[in-house]
Amino acid sequence: MAAESLPHELIAKHRPTLDQALEAIRTRAYWSPHPEHPKAYGEHGSLSLAEAKAAFDALLGTRLDLGQPGTDDWVGGEVSPYGIELGVTYPHADVDVLLPAMRAGQGAWRDAGAELRAAVCLEILKRISDRTHELAHAVMHTSGQAFMMAFQAGGPHAQDRGLEAVAYAYFEQTRTPGTAEWSKPQGKRDPLELTKRFTPVPRGIALLIGCNTFPTWNGYPGLFASLATGNAVLVKPHPRAVLPLALTVRIAREVLAEAGFDPNLVALTAEGPGEGIAKTLAVRPEIRIIDYTGSTAFGDWLEAHARQAQVYTEKAGVNTVLVESTDDYQGMLSNLAFSLSLYSGQMCTTPQNLLVPRTGITTNEGPKSYDEVVTDLARAVDGLLGDDARANALLGAIVNPDVKARLEAAAALGEVALPSREIVNPEFPEAVVRTPVIVKLDGAKPDAEAAYLSECFGPVSFAVAVDSAADAVDLLRRTIREKGAMTVAAYTTSRAVEQDVEEVCLEEAAQLSLNLTGGVYVNQTAAFSDFHGSGGNPAANAALCDGAFVANRFRVVEVRRQA
Amino acid sequence: MAAESLPHELIAKHRPTLDQALEAIRTRAYWSPHPEHPKAYGEHGSLSLAEAKAAFDALLGTRLDLGQPGTDDWVGGEVSPYGIELGVTYPHADVDVLLPAMRAGQGAWRDAGAELRAAVCLEILKRISDRTHELAHAVMHTSGQAFMMAFQAGGPHAQDRGLEAVAYAYFEQTRTPGTAEWSKPQGKRDPLELTKRFTPVPRGIALLIGCNTFPTWNGYPGLFASLATGNAVLVKPHPRAVLPLALTVRIAREVLAEAGFDPNLVALTAEGPGEGIAKTLAVRPEIRIIDYTGSTAFGDWLEAHARQAQVYTEKAGVNTVLVESTDDYQGMLSNLAFSLSLYSGQMCTTPQNLLVPRTGITTNEGPKSYDEVVTDLARAVDGLLGDDARANALLGAIVNPDVKARLEAAAALGEVALPSREIVNPEFPEAVVRTPVIVKLDGAKPDAEAAYLSECFGPVSFAVAVDSAADAVDLLRRTIREKGAMTVAAYTTSRAVEQDVEEVCLEEAAQLSLNLTGGVYVNQTAAFSDFHGSGGNPAANAALCDGAFVANRFRVVEVRRQA
C-alpha cells in the first residue's frame, strides 16, 4: 500500500473537501472543487493538455487490460463522431466468474465504514480530476461533444456530480450513529439497558448502464453513490462510449488496490456489437442496484423486469419553453438560441417545444407576433452559429445516424422557420455537424400533436402556436404528465402566468427555469445546487442528487445486546 | 378554526416534541412522549379507562359516519376474537368520487410547508394519544391482543412509530433549504447569479393497506410518513380490523378541518366480505404510494403490479433463534418463553425456529443436551403460563381460524415437546386462547425442511436439532436469504460464534438481538432507536423507520430565476 493511502491519511486528505460538499448540499450555494478552466490543469500532478493528448493518442489501437478476473474476450469498435476509429478493445466478462470475484471484497469494504469509503471515493475523483484533459478527449471522441464541452461537462461537472453523490451517501449512512446506549426507565426497578451497534450494509452488486452522450456526467452519480454505500459496481458502458468509463474504472481499481481494498469492487464489462448484455445482467440475482440513462423503452423494461434491484432511471422527456412575454427580448432570444444549439440539442435537457401564443407576445421592444418571435429566434440562432469555428465549438458532432435521420425528417413535419445547415469541421472533416432546425407547428391541429408530443432527440425544435397563455399552460401540463420533462422554462412578465406555470411544475414535479436571459441556460444544472430531473414525472424516476437517490442503496443492520 | 389551531400556535405547541424526536432518531437513545402506563391517562383532556370503555361501548352497533364524499354503501361485520360482534358499519367509497375529492386539498397542504404539516400530524397524534384507552379497546377487539398489550402496542408504541415517521419526514424535507442564492464567479466578469426556490411536493394519493394483528402499530408509520410529506392518504383497513383505523381517520379529519385544511386529505374505505378492493385500488393511477403489511403473496403482487406507486411492504418471514451457549441459562429460558408466548406468537417478530446443536449446549449450569434444552424451555413456557389469568393477559386470543388450524396441524409435524393447551377466558368465554406448541424437528431430515423453512404464523415453534454451531449459522443464512426474517436472536458465549452470526446478519441484512435474558424481548422494537425490519431481506422491502422510508414519498421541485 502506498504510504499516502493509509486510511487515516486518506481521510485527513479528503475530509475538508467532504465537509465543504456537505455544506454545499445543505445551503445549495455555488461551490465546486474542480476547476472549469483548462489552464488550471497541468501542475500538482494533473495532466497538461499536451500530456493528455499524448496519453489519449497512446491509447488508440490498444487493449485496455484492467486486470480483471473472468475476462473471456476483448471487444471494442468505437468510432468517434469526429471520424477516428479508436481501435481500443476492452474486457468482456464471463459474469459467472466476475460477479463472485466482485463480491469477495465487499466484506472489507463494508467494514471500512462510511468515512473511509468516502475518502477512497474522493481519492478516485481526485485522480480522475488529474486526468481531466485525457477524459475530455475520451468523452469528445465517443459523445461527439466539442472539446470544451467534453472537458467541462465530462470533466469538472461530472466530477462534481460524483462528489455530490458521495456527500449524500456519507451523510445518509452517518445520520444513524455507529453505536447507542439505550436505557429505558422502569419506575422503581432497574432500567432496561441495551447496547446497540448500527452498521450500514451494501445491497450487493450495482450495475451502471452507461449512455452515449454523457458517459461520465450521467454515470458518476450512480457509480459513486453505490460505491460509497458499500456496493461493488459493475460498469456496462454504452458500446459507442466505452473509453471514458473504462478509464474511470481503471483509476478506481488503482486507488482501491493502493488503499488495500479489492480492486474488483469496481469492474467493467464491454460488449460485442448487438450483444445487448444489459438485459441479461439486469436480472442477475447478484445485481441489486441499477443506474440507467437512455431510452424510455429500455428504462421501462428495467423498471418492470429487474424486480430484484433498486432501479434508478433517466429516460426520455419532452422539454417545453413557454414564451408569453419578456422585458428583455434580445436576452431571451440569445439565451434560447444558445440552449437550442449547445451540443446540437443532444442533451436530455434541451428544450424541444417552444409554446408561443398565436396572438403574439409583449416585450420590451413592443408586441411581437408569433411569426416575428419565431423569425427573430431563427435569426438569433443563425447569428450565434454564423461563424463556423464558433459553430463547431458549440455544436459538436452528431452522435449517431439516428439523430441525423430525425433531423432530416423533421423538416417534413411543418413549415421550416430555420433550416438546418451543414457545417464543415476543418480539423475533423468526417464529423457530421449540423445547426438546429426550427419547425413551426399549429398546436390546435391534431396531426401536429404526434410531432410535438414525442421526444425528437437532437437539434430539432418545434415552435408551437397556441391559442393563449392558458392554452400553453394546459399543454405544458399535459406534456409533462404524459411524456415527462427534464426541464421546463418560461418567459413571462405576468405574475399570474408565472404562478400558473409554477403551479403546473409543482403539481407535475418538473424543474422550472424562469426568465433566463443571461449566461445560465435551461439545459445546464450545477451540482450541489440544482436538481437534475425531479424523479416525479415520466422522464426519470430519480433526481440527481437527493436523499432518495442514496438512501436505498444500503440498509442498516442493528445488533443489540444487553448492556 | 379553533383558536388553538392557528398555524403558528400549532407549531409552537408541537415544535419542542418534534425537536426531541429529531434528537432521538439522531442519538437513538431511549425516548418517548407517550406514557406506557394506563394510569397516566384520564387527565389533561385524555380519556380515563372508564370514559374510554363507555366511548367504545357507545360505538358498538353504530354507523361510523366520517362525513366523506362519495360514500356508496355502509359495510362492517367485525367480530372480536373475544366473541363480541362489533356491529359497526363504515363508509364504502365510490373511489371515482372520493379520490378526486382527496386531491382537491393537496395544493393547500403542500403550500403549508413541512413544519406546519408536521405540527398538524403531531396534533393528530396528540388527539390519538388522548384516546389511547378507547383505541386499546378497538385494537383488543379486532386483533385479539390482551388489553394491556393492545393498550401499549396499539397506543403509545404505535404513536411513537407515527411520530418517528413524522420526524424523519420533516427532516428529509428540510435538508434542502427553502431558498438559495447562487453566485458563480466568472473571473473579471460579473458573476452568474440565480435565486432558487425549493418546494417539497407530494407524489399523489397514498394508500395504506392495514393488517389484522397490529392495525395501528403497522399502520401509523406509512400513514404519517405520507401525510407529513404532503400526500393525501386513503386508509383501507383489514376487514377484520377496521375500527382502530376508522377512529384514527376520524381524529385526523377533525384536526385537519380545525387547522383549516381539507379533511378529505385523510379518508377511509372499508370493504364488503370478499370484495378485495385493495387489488383494484393499488393500481389506480391516482395512487402513487402504497404501504402494506400482510402476506408475502399479496405483498409480492403489489410490488410487481402497482408499478405507478412507491410500494413499501412488510411480508412474512421465518425468524430464527440460534442457541449455542449461555452464561445465564434460566434467564435465556424465561426470556425465550416470554417471546414465544406473547400474543400467542402472532407477531411478525416472534421466533419460529430454535436451532439447537444435537450435541447440546454449554451453560452456566453445566452442559445441557438438546433434549434438556427443549424440555427446560417447555417447562419455562408452562411455568410462565401456568396461571390462567396471567396466561390470558399474555396470550390474548387467536386472531382467526387459520391460525388455530395451523396450530392444530403443527403437532403432526414432529415430536411434540410442549403441547398447546386451551385456556379459558372467564371474561370472554368465546375467545379461543391457546398456549404455544413446541415441536422437535431434525434439521438433517429433508422432510422436516418443509416445516421449518415455511412461515407458520401463530403459536408454533420448532426446536430444530442441528449438527453444530456452524451448521446452525449456515441454516440461519439460508433461512434469511430464502424466506426473510424480521428478527434474529442468538445465545452464545463464544466470540467466534457471535462473529459468525453477526457476519450472516450483516451479509443478509437481518436485525440481530444477542443474549437477551432480561426484560427486553427479541420480538419488541422501540421507535426512535430500533429498526423494525431491515428492508434488505425478503421479509420486508422497507425498515421502520429510516431515510429511505420517507425520502421517495415526495419530490423537490426547484424554481430558479435570474437574481
ipTM: 0.97
pLDDT tens digits along B370-408: 999 999 999 999 999 999 999 999 999 999 999 999 999
Residue B520 domain flag: no
Nearest to B196 among A28, A546, A555 (CB): A28
Contacts of A547 in chain B (CB under 8 A): 172, 175, 547, 551
Residues B81 and B225 placed together within one structural domain of the fold: yes
Asked if residue B519 is part of any domain, the answer here is no
Q: Are strands B189-202 and B554-562 parallel, antiparallel or unpaired?
A: antiparallel
Please give chain A's pLDDT, 563 residues, in tens: 444 458 899 999 999 999 999 999 999 999 999 999 999 998 888 898 899 999 999 999 999 999 999 999 999 999 999 999 999 999 999 999 999 999 999 999 999 999 999 999 999 999 999 999 999 999 999 999 999 999 999 999 999 999 999 999 999 999 999 999 999 999 999 999 999 999 999 999 999 999 999 999 999 999 999 999 999 999 999 999 999 999 999 999 999 999 999 999 999 999 988 899 999 999 999 999 999 999 999 999 999 999 999 999 999 899 999 999 999 999 999 999 999 999 999 999 999 999 999 999 999 999 999 999 999 999 999 999 999 999 999 999 999 999 999 999 999 999 999 999 999 999 999 999 999 999 999 999 988 999 999 999 999 999 999 999 999 999 999 999 999 999 999 999 999 999 999 999 999 999 999 999 999 999 999 999 999 999 999 999 999 999 999 999 999 999 999 98
- Are A162 and A287 in a shared domain? yes
Is residue A536 one of the residues assigned to a domain?
no
Asked whether residue A42 is assigned to any structural domain, the reply reads: no
The answer as to whether A530 is a domain residue is no
Of B183, B531, B556, the CB nearest to A531: B556
CA distance A309 to A323: 41
Segment holding A56, helix H or strand E: helix A49-59
Q: Taking CB atoms and an 8 Å cutoff, what residues of chain A touch B530? A: 196, 558, 560
The answer to whether residue B537 is domain-embedded is no
Q: Examine the domain organization and report whether A206 and A267 are in the same domain.
A: yes
Query: Residue A112 is part of a domain; what is its CATH number?
Result: 3.40.605.10
The Cα A25–Cα A19 span in angstroms is: 10
Residue B555 lies in a domain: yes
Whether B138 and B206 map to the same domain: the answer is yes
> Which residues have a Cβ under 8 Å from the Cβ of B79 and sit 6 or more positions away?
B85, B86, B240
Please name the member of B535, B559, B561 whose beta carbon is closest to the beta carbon of A505.
B559
In total, how many domains does chain A have?
A: 2
CB contact under 8 A, B199 and A506: yes
Chain A hits for B551, Cβ within 8 Å: 546-548, 551-552
How many whole angstroms from its chain centre is CA B532? 8
Mutation target to probe the A interface, by most A beta carbons within 10 A, among B179, B183, B194, B515 is B194
Q: Are residues B132 and B232 in the same domain?
A: yes
Same domain assignment for residues A296 and A324: no
Same domain for B191 and B95: yes
**What are the beta bridge partners of residue B490?**
B322, B514
**A343 and A248 inside one domain:** no
At residue B5, the pLDDT reads 59
- Measure in Å the smallest separation between the Cα of B485 and chain A Cα atoms: 12
- Which value, in Å, is the radius of gyration of the alpha carbons in chain B? 25
Q: Is B97 exposed, middle or buried (0-12, 13-18, 19+ CB in 10 A)?
A: middle
- Which structural domain range is residue B447 located in? 320-514
Nearest to A27 among B177, B512, B561 (CB): B177
Q: What percent of chain B has pLDDT over 90?
A: 95
Chain A residue numbers touching B536 (CB-CB < 8 A):
201, 203, 555, 557
d(CA A24, CA A165): 12
Residue linked to cell 408586441: A367
At B315, the amino acid letter reads K
CB B502 within 8 A of CB B492: no
Same domain, A67 and A205: yes
**Same domain membership, residue A269 and residue A225:** yes
* B521, part of any domain: no
Residues A296 and A374 in one domain: no
The nearest alpha carbon in chain A to B535 belongs to: A555
In terms of domains, do B7 and B123 share one?
A: yes
